[in-house]
Amino acid sequence: MTRVTINDTTLRDGEQTAGVAFTAEEKLAIARSLDEMGVPEMEIGIPVMGSAEIEIIRAIVNLKLRAKLMVWGRMCEKDIRAAARCGIDFVNLSLPVSDIHLKNKLHRDRAWALAQIKECVPMALEHGMQVSVGCEDSSRADMAYLFEVVDAAQSAGARRVRFADTLGVLDPFMTWRKIHELRMNTDLEIEIHAHNDLGLATANTLAAIHAGATHANTTVNGLGERAGNAAMEEVVMGLRHLYAMNTGVDTAHLVDVSKLVAEASGRMVAPNKSIVGSAVFTHESGIHVDGLLKNVLNYEGFSPSELGRRHRTVLGKHSGVHAVRDAYDRIGLSLSSEAAHYVLERIRRHAVQTKNSPGAKELAEFYIESTYCNDLSL
């Protein structure tokens, strides 16, 4: 298995989500969980925000985790000085590389950005930090200029470049082509930082890895600015099942860390969220339940046991007689064929009226009805 390195930024871009702010205890708990499950790298904060943030970062450093820790700053002296106060040995220094950002955001030009890299990367190295050059808005940058940026980064002593699809405007084909060209033009580590504005962050991250990116910047539950970042749980499972790539992340803990981050961020996980959603291994439709009961491989792309989960069947509008009889068998009630049809109709009516699956109490009621109804037609 080829290796790819997850760099999880739940504690930086994840916390940057509008309205999300973790307490120190929450940041420590999330860092510990990510480390325990084998996440090899994490980006844990923005030192230039001030002393309180630096204190939390230092507290995480003091946990002496196995994971390599990184902080985020802009490509300038002030941010490098703040990062140097954290006792950390890796910093991502970000600067815009698209003309639209350079001109309209910073009122600077391409030459200025190259000069900043030449000046700032050695400064960070002198403070004992390894450097990733974060190329903001890479997607909209002129590729020829991006190669110049990457050259400048390498000459200045950086070990990595981060290709940021800051606005989530790429698709997997464009991502593959750009990362492939970048791979042909540099020996540096390449990290992909994808956003989910078009729902493509995970797909773009996988495309980038396929094209030669060595690192994937992810967040738990896909937390992050606007529509968020590539979800760690999706990238880890996608790499394993589609590319046979091992990330070293123990997938049995994905649901737990998802719950921890959902609670700390106040951003609940949708029931149908891939991998970690509460309903993604729940089956109702008669055809699917019947297929699963016959052989689980009929309707299983990967085993929920990889996540410490199991298939669950519920009864509802799309249930069939087979599933109904199976459910009653499991609570020790055997249904005649007539009773099963009666109960199925009651379950369907219940599902439509309540938008819910019947619980044990309702099932018992339907059963009793089925035994005293002489006329079983409804």
Strands 215-218 and 5-8: parallel
Produce one character per residue of 248-262: b if its CB has 16 or more CB atoms within 10 Å, e if not.
ebebebbbebbbbbb
Are 98 and 141 a contacting pair, CB within 8 Å? Answer: yes
> Which stretch in 12-20, 66-74, 102-110, 175-183 sits in contact with Mn ion by CB under 5 A?
12-20
CB of 71 to Mn ion, least distance (A): 15
Distances (CA, A) of 11 to 150, 178, 318: 26, 28, 41
Task: State which amino acid sits at residue 141.
Answer: A
> Which stretch in 8-16, 19-27, 72-80, 313-321 sits in contact with Mn ion by CB under 5 A?
8-16
By the rule CB under 5 A, 41 interacts with Mn ion: no
By the rule CB under 5 A, 234 interacts with Mn ion: no
Residue nearest Mn ion by beta-carbon distance: 13
Closer to Mn ion at the Cβ: 139 or 313?
A: 139
For residue 15, the surrounding DSSP H or E stretch is: none
By the rule CB under 5 A, 26 interacts with Mn ion: no
CB of 164 to Mn ion, least distance (A): 6
> Which stretch in 10-18, 23-31, 140-148, 340-348 sits in contact with Mn ion by CB under 5 A?
10-18
CB of 162 to Mn ion, least distance (A): 10
> Which stretch in 6-14, 47-55, 140-148, 279-287 sits in contact with Mn ion by CB under 5 A?
6-14
> If 0-12 CB within 10 Å is exposed, 13-18 middle and 19+ buried, where does residue 144 land?
exposed
CB of 3 to Mn ion, least distance (A): 24
CB of 197 to Mn ion, least distance (A): 11
Q: Which residue has the tokens 């509802």?
A: 316
Residue of 188, 182, 54, 204 lying closest to 130 (CA atoms): 188
Judged by CB under 5 A, which of 6, 7, 12, 13 binds Mn ion?
13
> Which stretch in 9-17, 133-141, 237-245, 282-290 sits in contact with Mn ion by CB under 5 A?
9-17
DSSP state of 167: T
Question: What's 92-147 look like in SS3?
Answer: EEEEECCHHHHHHCCCCCHHHHHHHHHHHHHHHHHCCCEEEEEEECHHHCCHHHHH
Binding site for Mn ion (CB under 5 A): 13
